[in-house]
Amino acid sequence: MGRLSIKDAELLAQKFRLEAGMGMTEPVDVKSVLRRFRILTMYRPLSENSFGISIKTEGAMFMMVNCNSTRGRQHFTVAHELYHLFYDENPAPHVCRGAVSGVEKDANLFASALLMPREGLLHEISEVELLQHRPNMATVLRLEQLFGVSRMSLLVRLKDMGVISETVLQELNSVSVKDSAQAYGYDTLLYESGNEGIVIGDFGEKAKRLFDAGLISEGHYVELLNMISDGRGEGKDCVGC
């Protein structure tokens, strides 16, 4: 597969949505996607310049997401790693460090198109804002919250779509994210880190099978279960997390 254009990334994202049983405009619940495709995923602290890790082996997929990133960034990381797991021609163990060249750029374009579908964004922006190529801050915040993405991710997507210029991008990005969210009455969880310790997948089920088969001790089994005990906090996450 050659380097993707924005249009190619959108078509690939639409294909993925179809295979995941999602509509073409709805926000993506990344944790539901991970469960659907049985991708064992752990949210753990990683180094500052590492956003996520993905590994694909014979019949199994694994992902680790940096819980020190904001939730919006975490969603983008999951979508980015989905590209590597499903469409990367060389799905070797991969660490996402924010590079923007080659296959990393392709993965970013796919993640952007998957999380922020063109039709879904356009539906939420008024005709006047589209014609003026300048959505107001209320619209920007509504889109961030609806699609569960960071401000920069949203603004870059709008620029790629031709909705805003680089000048407008810089202008909107200069406004404090948390302050603007609070001013408009939004929860700020999206712009904060979180999810530490959460495990998604059949990790516990596999551990139980190993214990029942006598392949691990009771102490080791309890230790493995303790690794996923923090997953009980999943229900407290914001929409789209």
| pLDDT tier for residue 96 given thresholds of 50, 70 and 90 | confident
Q: What angle do CA 141, 97, 239 make, to 5 degrees?
A: 30
| pLDDT tier for residue 16 given thresholds of 50, 70 and 90 | very high
More confident residue, 176 or 92: 176
pLDDT value at 232 more than 60: no
Q: What is the pLDDT of residue 36?
A: 95
**For 75-95, how does the pLDDT look when each residue is reduced to its tens digit (9 = 90+)?**
999 999 999 999 988 766 667
pLDDT value at 233 more than 60: no
By the 8 A CB rule, do 105 and 133 touch? Answer: no
Predicted model pTM: 0.85
| pLDDT tier for residue 98 given thresholds of 50, 70 and 90 | low
| pLDDT tier for residue 33 given thresholds of 50, 70 and 90 | very high
Q: What is the DSSP string of 127-177?
A: HHHHHHT---HHHHHHHHHHHT--HHHHHHHHHHTTSS-HHHHHHHHTS-H
